[in-house]
Each structure stands twice: as structure tokens, then as C-alpha cells.
A and B are shown apart, each in its own frame.
Chain A
Amino acid sequence: MSEKLTFRDIFVKGSVVFNPVLVQLAGLCPVVAASTSLKNAAMLSVIAFAELIVVCIVASALLKKIPRWVRMPIYLVIGLAFVCPILWYIETQTLVNLSLGMKIYIPLIAINSVVAVHCEQFAVKNSVKLAFYDAAAVGIGASAVFITVGALRELLGSSSIGGIAVNIPVAFKGMLMPFGSLIILGFMAAVLKAFVSKRCPEYIQKPIAAEEKKEETTEIAKVELPATEETVEETAIAEVPVSEPEAEPAAEENPIDAIKIMSEKEIDDFLKSLGIDTEETGDKQ
């Protein structure tokens, strides 16, 4: 992480731009299977949020020098160590009715892919403070999705919100099934993508630029034709064969082309070996 990360960057990326559920498609199991009501979704959110923060902080503070193949099971063990007492408390002390519908899914949160991904990608590479920020942002992003999906499913499937009946003429029982959740997630992902590309495009410029560069080198270019009335040929993404790019000489044959794929230090060394002073030319070509 060479660039300096600010809290705003971490928060916007973790919770919105790279939302763990809608963009990274991590942690789908609990949201699809268990968030059938607002109460269930809120409970999942609280447990996932707390667990994410604990595991990410521990990973950032203690696990940086441990090999990767050892770290992964440790995340799971820490997660289970955190969640098991909560599950025991729910089952034995309070909220027994609430746990019945989601008994299997609470332990599944402990081995959630969101936790593993963010510990491995961010927490072990950054300070404890930044890991906490990232875990909080990711937790907020995931919780927002959990709660929205849970509320919508309960509203459409059971005509109630948080157990309070809402006067809706028709209840769609299918929305309580997993496919209902996936449909809601699909629409939410589309809305999020539209929002991000409109409101914070600076966060997605880099991948797009890289993608465009990659597209230029492919042999087939995709051309979107103007759509009038929908026809098979007019609206299809036509595959237009692009003229064959001129065959580039091998890197060994042309020293200048060889420079293109070298790093700055390698270029300097290469030019020095040719007897050219890099300070004078100043041009990597």
C-alpha cells in the first residue's frame, strides 16, 4: 500500500464502491438464506459487524508475520471463538425464538468469506487503525445490505416490517425463498453501480482505464450499434474483425522495444550497458 489512505477513501471503498455483498459477492449465504425478516437481518448484521472488527484487528496486530496458509484457518478459529459464545447465549438465555430460524447461519457467519477476504487483502497489510476503519466500513456496507434485503423481503413476503403488520393488498410468498433475495440483490447491485459511476467515478477510473487498454489489444472489437426497433442484427453486439496488428519484433531483436516492458531501474541499467547516459536523454524510449 504505497498510496496514503484516508478514512474517507477507506470508508467509501469498503462500504460503497466495493461493497462486500453487492460488488464482491461475499457473504451471500446468510443474506440469501437467513435474512427473511428485519429482525433476523439486524441480528446477522450485528454479529457480522462485531466479528469483522474483532478478527480484522487481531489479524492486523498479531498475524502479519505468519505464513498465509496458516493465517486462513486462524481467521476461522478466531471467528468461531467470537461467535460460539454469542450463539450459546442466544440459544440458552434469550431470543430462543429468533435463533430457531437462523440456527445454522449464525455459525456460518464465523467462517464468512467477507472476513477472510478483508483480513487477507487489507488487515494484514496495514496498521491496526486502518484495519479497524476498513472493518467498520465493510461491516456497515454489509449490514446495510442485510437490513435492506431483510426489510424488503419481510414487507413483500409477509406484509409486515419488524413483526408489525403493514396493510399491503398482496403478499408475495416467493420473496421469502432464496430466489427473492437474489432478485433484490441484483437490483440493488445495479442501483449501486449506477450510483457509483455517477457520484464517485474517481474510484472506478483505474480499473476502467486498464480494461480499455486491454480491449485495444484484443483482435475482436465490440461495437454497439444504434438501437431503433429491436432486431436481431441491429441490436446485437456485432463482432467486427479488426485488421491484424502489425507483428511486433521480438524483444531481443529491438532494444528499444525491449525497454517498453522493463521497469525504470532495469531501463537505467540497460541504457548504461549500452553506454547511454540516462540523465542526458531523459526519455525512456
Chain B
Amino acid sequence: MKALSNNEIKQKPLKTSRLYGDYLLLLAAPFVLAWIYYGPRVLAVVASGVLGAVLSDILFCAVLKRRFLLKDLSNVFIGAVIALMLPAGIPLYVPAVAAVFAVAVAKIPFGGSLRAPFVPAAAGFAFITVCFKEQVFDYSYNSAEKMLGARSLGALLLNGNSVRLNSINVFDILSGNVAGPMGAGCSLLMIACLVFLLVRRKGALVSPLGFIAACALYAAVMPRVNASFFTSIFTELSAGSLLFAAVFLMSDYSTQPQKYSTRILYGVLSGFFCMLMRTVGTYEETVCFAVLLANAFTPILDSAVKKLQLKKASSARKGAAK
């Protein structure tokens, strides 16, 4: 039996528990760091998101008369990712609402997390960004000791401001000691997560790398701040949840294209959308919208690359025949 034909990457049967177990292991690191920066409040926010996702899945499984599997860790993953992209002082109903939206609208109707055409966590975060903009971008909680106070890098860039980089500032930004999403601020940790992906899931790393490269290129070519291109790239990549989304949203198993070449295109497209929305949009965090928009292009990219390869193969065959 040939499942998922013409698929170069998805070859081994992969259980959701194993897949999301890996990601949850990865998420443990930003969770611990967020605890260090913001205290036990982090646990409450993450628990709210996870409970929202799990309970809504149980409810929908009961309505649709399906068997709920607790060991399917996708709900825990969705809830935790959404929570870690939010500020620590967020009202607890917001991550729960986002998780319910992600499960009820972006996951269940499409038949599960491995069939969803849009990244559920991105959908959930995008929904609360639209509905609760003030709360989602309020980074005032526990921000007295932060480098820029309650102002995030994303807000500075949105207003056309920049920070003068010196060795202390660079380390603060790299270690996440700036106001921002509680689990997504530490760039060093995100780079370590990318290394983990390189070891465990090479196939999943292609899109994130394309995404980061496209964002960096855009920041260098069209900087939002009057500074050197290095400062522009550094601040853009460190702002908001860009690297976090690259690791946890762009590497999503079900929404990635099938072939490596298409995955690079998908990553580049997402990066372009993300930076374009940051430049002309009104939200300081746009990566979720960019990922959702790029998800819509995945089937088109897949079929276009396949057609191109078929065309090349047929022309090569004709050339050989001559």
C-alpha cells in the first residue's frame, strides 16, 4: 500500500505523540526561561491555554462521537505555544479563547492536527490579536527591570525607533531581557531549538531557515530604522515572536509542502509576507498572519513545483531521444 504518494520526506509512519512530544520537549526550555523572568504567573497562562485546548477537544469529540485520545499531545502543544507567545500579564481567558479557537476552528473541522491546512496555533493567536489587541501587546507586567521598560522591540520598530547596540544591549536582547512575549524573547534559546531540529527533524528545518533568511534579507534591503543594516537585521529578528514562530509554527508537520525545494519557497514566502505586514501593517506582531497566508499557498507551490519538474523531465527525455 502506497500512502501519500510522491512524497519525498514523509516516509516513516509518525505518531502525533512522538512528534508533539519532541516539540513539547523543545517548549520546556522557553517555559523555564519565562518562569525565571516572570515567575509563577507563566504557569497560570500556559495552563489556561492548555486547558482551553484540551477541554474544547474533549467537548468536540463528545459532540462528534469520536474517541478522545489524551496521549495525542497536539492540544497541549497548541495551548502551550499560544500561551508562550503572549505577555505574562495577559488576562487568563485570552489564551483559553485562542486555544479554543485553534482547536474548534482550525483543527477539528479538518480532521485533526496532521490534516489541518492552517497552523492551528497561528490561527488562534491571529484571532486574539484581532479581538484583544490591547491585551495581547501590553508588556507592562514585571517590566521594571527590563532594558526598555514596558516597550517592546516590535513597538519601537513600528514607530521607526531603534536601539543603539552595544555589548550589554546585544546580550540583553539575545537573552530575552526585553519586554515582549514571555516565552519567545530569548533569541539564543531559539537558535538552540533550531539546532535541536537539525538533529531530530532535518526535514522540518528547511522552511524555518528559508523564513529567517527572507526576513533578514528584507530587513537589510528595506530597514525600518535609520541604522546600519546589521542593526536592522538584528532588531527585526529579535523583535516579537519571529524566531519562536520560525521554530514552532513554520516547522509544523501537516502544513509544510512535500518537497524540500517547495519548503524553501514556502519559508521565503512566509518571511516576505511577515516583513511586508510589519512594514505596512498596524500590528507589531504579524508572523501568525504571514504563516496563515503562506499556508494558503502551500498546495499551489506544491503543484507548481511538480509541474516544473515534470516539464524538465519531459524536455530532458525529448533531448535524450534526439
Measured CB to CB, the residues of A under 8 A from B are 169-170, 172-175, 177, 183, 186-187, 190, 229-236, 238-241
CA distance A84 to B15 in the complex (A): 60
CA distance A177 to B15 in the complex (A): 37
Q: Given A170-B93, A238-B3, are A232 and B131 also a contact pair (CB < 8 Å)? A: no
Q: Which residues of A contact B93 (CB under 8 A)?
A: 169-170
Closest to A194 in B: B64
A232–B97 CB distance below 8 A:
no
A230–B16 CB distance below 8 A:
yes
State which size class the interface on B falls in: 20 to 34
Q: List 7 A-B contacts (CB under 8 A).
A: A169-B93, A172-B131, A174-B130, A229-B17, A231-B13, A232-B14, A233-B13
Q: Given A183-B105, A238-B3, A239-B2, are A232 and B10 also a contact pair (CB < 8 Å)? A: yes
Top 6 A-B pairs, shortest CB-CB distance? A174-B130, A233-B13, A174-B131, A233-B3, A230-B16, A238-B3
CA distance A174 to B69 in the complex (A): 31
Q: How far is the CB of A222 from chain B (nearest CB, A)?
A: 12
CA distance A232 to B112 in the complex (A): 11
B4–A230 CB distance below 8 A:
no
- Among B72, B97, B130, the one with the most A-chain Cβ atoms within 10 Å of its Cβ is B130
Q: Which residues of A contact B16 (CB under 8 A)?
A: 229-231
Q: Which of A169, A177, A232 contacts B13 (CB 8 A)?
A: A232
Query: Is B255 among interface residues, defined by CB-CB distance under 8 A?
Result: no
Q: Which residues of B contact A241 (CB under 8 A)?
A: 2
CA distance A230 to B253 in the complex (A): 13
CA distance A172 to B115 in the complex (A): 27
B127–A236 CB distance below 8 A:
no
Q: How far is the CB of A104 from chain B (nearest CB, A)?
A: 23
Query: Is B321 among interface residues, defined by CB-CB distance under 8 A?
Result: no
A235–B69 CB distance below 8 A:
no
Task: Give the interface SS of chain B, mostly helix, strand, loop or mixed.
Answer: loop
Within residues 57 to 77 of chain B, which ones have a CB less than 8 A from any CB in chain A?
69, 71-72, 74
CA distance A177 to B131 in the complex (A): 10
CA distance A190 to B4 in the complex (A): 27
Closest to A172 in B: B131
Query: Is B113 among interface residues, defined by CB-CB distance under 8 A?
Result: yes
Q: How far is the CB of A176 from chain B (nearest CB, A)?
A: 10
A229–B4 CB distance below 8 A:
no
Q: Which of A186, A187, A230 contacts B15 (CB 8 A)?
A: A230
Q: How far is the CB of A193 from chain B (nearest CB, A)?
A: 12
Q: Given A229-B15, A232-B14, are A240 and B130 also a contact pair (CB < 8 Å)? A: no
Q: Which of B1, B4, B109, B111 contacts A232 (CB 8 A)?
A: B4
CA distance A73 to B69 in the complex (A): 56
Q: Given A170-B93, A174-B131, A235-B112, are A229 and B71 also a contact pair (CB < 8 Å)? A: yes
Closest to A234 in B: B13
Q: Which residues of B contact A172 (CB under 8 A)?
A: 97, 127, 131
Q: Which residues of B contact A169 (CB under 8 A)?
A: 93
A238–B17 CB distance below 8 A:
no
Q: Given A174-B130, A186-B109, A238-B1, are A232 and B114 also a contact pair (CB < 8 Å)? A: yes
Query: Is B5 among interface residues, defined by CB-CB distance under 8 A?
Result: yes
- Among A174, A230, A234, the one with the most B-chain Cβ atoms within 10 Å of its Cβ is A230
CA distance A127 to B209 in the complex (A): 65
